[in-house]
Amino acid sequence: MSFFWPELLWLLAALPAIGLLYVLLLRRRRKAALRYSGLAMVREALGRGPGWRRHVPPAVLLAALALLVVAMARPTMRITLPSQQRTVILAMDVSGSMRASDVQPTRMAAAQAAARQFVSAQPSSTRIGVVTFAGSAALVQPPTYSKDDVFAAIDRFTYQRGTAVGSGILVALQTLFPDIDFDLRGNDPRGPANDRRSGRSLDTSASGAQAPPAPVEPGSFASAAIILLTDGQTTTGPNPLEAAKMAAERGVRVFTVGVGTDNGEILVGDGWSMRVRLDEATLRTIATMSAAEYFYAGSALDLEKIYKSLHSRLALETRETEVTALFAAAAAALVLVAGLLSILWFNRLL
């Protein structure tokens, strides 16, 4: 727990003094009572005294004062609460390898069915956008509150050649931050990087892109997230790890979902054949870099469970929240309790 005004907590030091003053007042009353003659006769006439009960209302009132002091310091706590408004970008792989049938009926059909379930489970306050990627990436449905529009976009998926996971992440980022120039040709405002087998490096030397805002903590942008679903390895486009770094620096979580079985499947075409395998290592790294999670889907049922799990994660967010009202309400309740006990036991208000 932290406080906006911690200096006010010094007022708690006054509470022991109040308790001491209460004790001194009780002793003063005892001394005044000793001045009366025939004290034993008076006690016998009055019956048994209130005993320990007379100390309860003042003690409860003192606790209420302590809570009020804490409330004045404006306490904050990290609390997990439902997020009210958020944007989710579904980045879906539509490469030819999604034809594989190791996930029944096909990887693509299973992914589409699970995505529809996920969209259906989202609250009306969630905007959902859809990005597809293969050799390149495109925004096929801008973020919208209309689930019917999202369903229509999912139903329109068509197979394409190549797999550019990095492009899918960049287009999703460009959708979330339209004012930032994420060079979709493979350029990055932070300068050149070495070419890698998994995709082209991100470089701005030729584009002259404007420098992005200062990086933030990964996962801190709680109002938006990207869900990336793919079944293969990057064959073209920007390096996906550098694209994931850009997402992490914007605080956007990239949840990754790998589709396929352990052995993959051999696809056969007109005079060609290829084995499509899942690059789990890269997907795990993307999720870790952006403070998100990686999920493996080896069957259509796994996909459905994954999207349900993602829904529960996206529906809640942990953030620093001021809880002054809670302490003030607790203090008010204690004041009422002290007053009621005093009336019930002694027919007077404190």
Which CATH number characterizes residue 245's domain? 3.40.50.410
C-alpha 259/C-alpha 279 separation (Å) is 10
User: Is 307 inside a domain boundary?
Assistant: no
Query: How many domains, the chain?
Result: 2
Among 123-132, 187-196, 273-282, which is the least confidently predicted range? 187-196
299 SS3 class: coil
User: Is 310 inside a domain boundary?
Assistant: no
Region for 47 from its dihedrals, namely left if φ exceeds 0, alpha if ψ lies in -120 to 50, beta otherwise? left
C-alpha 80/C-alpha 235 separation (Å) is 39
Q: Are residue 30 and residue 9 in the same domain, yes or no? A: yes
Q: Are residue 285 and residue 336 in the same domain, yes or no? A: no
Side chain identity at residue 240, one-letter code: P
User: Is 314 inside a domain boundary?
Assistant: no
Q: Residue 193's pLDDT is what? A: 38
Most confidently predicted of 103-107, 139-143, 180-184: 139-143
Q: Is the pLDDT of residue 76 over 70?
A: yes
Q: Residue 309's pLDDT is what? A: 79
Side chain identity at residue 121, one-letter code: A
Are residues 180 and 253 in contact, defined by beta-carbon separation less than 8 angstroms? no
Residue 215 Cα to chain centre, angstroms? 19
Q: Residue 33's pLDDT is what? A: 55
- The pair of structure tokens assigned to 327 is 């302490």
Q: Residue 311's pLDDT is what? A: 72
User: Is 148 inside a domain boundary?
Assistant: yes
The percent of residues in the chain predicted with pLDDT above 70, rounded, is 75
pLDDT tens profile 227-279: 999 987 788 889 999 999 999 999 999 999 988 765 655 555 555 455 566 78
Are residues 149 and 128 in contact, defined by beta-carbon separation less than 8 angstroms? no
User: Is 312 inside a domain boundary?
Assistant: no
Q: Are residue 137 and residue 271 in the same domain, yes or no? A: yes
Q: Are residue 24 and residue 152 in the same domain, yes or no? A: no
pTM above 0.75, yes or no: no
Residue 338 Cα to chain centre, angstroms? 40
Q: Are residue 54 and residue 93 in the same domain, yes or no? A: no
Q: Is the pLDDT of residue 350 over 70?
A: no
Are residues 278 and 231 in contact, defined by beta-carbon separation less than 8 angstroms? yes
User: Is 177 inside a domain boundary?
Assistant: yes
Q: Are residue 109 and residue 45 in the same domain, yes or no? A: no
Domain membership of residue 31 as a residue range = 2-79+322-346
